[in-house]
Amino acid sequence: MTTVTKPVVDIVFPLAGGPLPASYAAPLHAALLRLLPWLDEETDAAVHPLRRVTNVDGRVRLGAHSRLVVRVPETRADACAALAGRLLEVGEPLRLGQAQRRPLLAFPTVYSPLVVTGDRTEEAFLAAVLRTLENWDGRCEVIVGRAGTCAAHTEMLFGFSLMLHGVAPPLSLRAQSEGIGGYRKYGCGVFVPHRSASAVTA
Tens digits of residue pLDDT in 41-62: 999 999 999 877 777 677 888 8
pLDDT of residue 198: 53
Q: Are 80 and 70 in contact (CB under 8 A)?
A: yes
- 102 C-beta neighbours (distance < 10 Å), count: 12
Q: How confident is the model at residue 64 (pLDDT cuts 50, 70, 90)?
A: confident
At 39, is the pLDDT very low, low, confident or very high (cuts 50, 70, 90)? Answer: very high
Q: How confident is the model at residue 21 (pLDDT cuts 50, 70, 90)?
A: confident
What are the DSSP calls for 93-113, one per residue?
A: EEEE---EEEE----SEEEEE
Measured CA to CA, the distance from residue 185 to residue 86 in angstroms comes to 19
Spatial CA neighbour of 47 closest among 141, 152, 130, 140? 152
Given a cut of 60, whether residue 20 has pLDDT beyond it is yes
Give the pLDDT band of residue 201 (cuts 50, 70, 90): very low
Taking 60 as the threshold, does the pLDDT of residue 5 lie above it? no
Write down all domains in the chain, each with its CATH number in brackets. Answer: 8-103 (3.30.70.1890), 109-201 (3.30.70.1210)
Nearest to 111 by CA among 202, 188, 192: 192
Question: What pLDDT is recorded for position 202?
Answer: 46
Mean pLDDT computed over 55-72? 87
**Is the model more confident about 98 or about 93?**
98
Q: pLDDT band at 67, cuts 50/70/90? A: very high
The rounded percent of the chain whose pLDDT value lies above 70 is 94
pLDDT for 60 equals 86
Q: Is the pLDDT of residue 199 over 60?
A: no
Mean pLDDT of the chain, nearest integer: 91
